[in-house]
Amino acid sequence: MDSRFNERRSEVGIGDALIKKMSGEYYKTQKSVNEYIHLAKGFNGSELIDKLKNVLQQHSIVLEIGSGPGTDWSILNRFYKVVGSDFSLEFLNHLRYKYPTGEFLNLDAVTLKTEQKFDGIYSNKVLHHLKDKELIESIKNQHKTLNDGGIICHSFWKGEDSEIFKGLFVNYHDKSSLRKFYEAGFDILTLDTYKEFEDGDSLLLIGKKK
């Protein structure tokens, strides 16, 4: 959710009244979560998941961070034993209602407090909400949470600096900053730009635990 959201917002006709409600609590109220789910319809991470499938074998156990509406969770669920998660109780209520047989954890992306271990960790447009220090802590915790040789697959918004957009912190990254953050603990397998809304607005990083 960032300034590119404005363009998407005008395409789908989301008005200022809704935008005003996007405070820091945006992911945490029932109304705004329902609105986000509506807004995000038609978007999914299938191209990212196709790339993940090239390096992580089917039936592996995968943690998704920030499952939100659950669209990517349901795609991952076709190929993997996927455990969804979010720090928003409203999103967790939605996920548990929509996918009653699924497993969903209340996890913060920074602390990842779980005893479970995973072969893969996936997120799609979640970790850009972390400040640099939080991202570094998250990466250490991802490393701990992965089995040997485990795979990470994360998308980010590409750009410079950070901004507060309607109360939500948005941290932009480029290839060199992501490489710097991840290379101590991970071999970088893929670091590519791709298009979410416009050419080159996004980055995909896939790495293997060292």
Please report whether residue 158 would count as binding ligand SAM according to CB under 6 A.
no
Collapsing DSSP states into helix, strand and coil, what is residue 25? coil
Q: Is 173 in the site for ligand SAM (CB under 6 A)?
A: no
- In this complex, which beta carbon is closest to ligand SAM, that of residue 87 or of residue 181? 87
CB 63, CB 85: distance < 8 Å: yes
Does 108 bind ligand SAM (CB under 6 A)? Our answer is yes
Question: Which residues does residue 163 pair with via DSSP β-bridges, in sequence order?
Answer: 170
Alpha-carbon 21 to chain mean position: 22
Least distance (Å) between residue 65 CB and ligand SAM? 6
We find the least distance from the C-beta atom of residue 82 to ligand SAM, in angstroms, to be: 12
Using the contact rule CB under 6 A, the part of the chain among 14-22, 62-70, 97-105, 139-147 near ligand SAM is 62-70
Contact by Cβ (8 Å): 135, 171: yes
Q: How many CB atoms lie within 10 A of CB 92?
A: 19
Stretch of 50-58, 122-130, 145-153, 185-193 lying at the interface with ligand SAM (CB under 6 A): 122-130
Q: What values do phi and psi take at 81, rounded to 5?
A: -90, 100
Kindly tell me which of 149 and 167 has the beta carbon lying closer to ligand SAM.
167
Choices 12-20, 69-77, 176-184, 190-198; region in contact with ligand SAM by CB under 6 A: 69-77
Q: Are 112 and 48 in contact (CB under 8 A)?
A: no
Q: CA 88, 162, 182, 199 torsion: positive or negative?
A: positive
**Which residues of the chain form contacts with ligand SAM (CB under 6 A)?**
1, 27, 40, 45, 65-66, 68-69, 71-72, 86-88, 91, 108-110, 124-126, 129
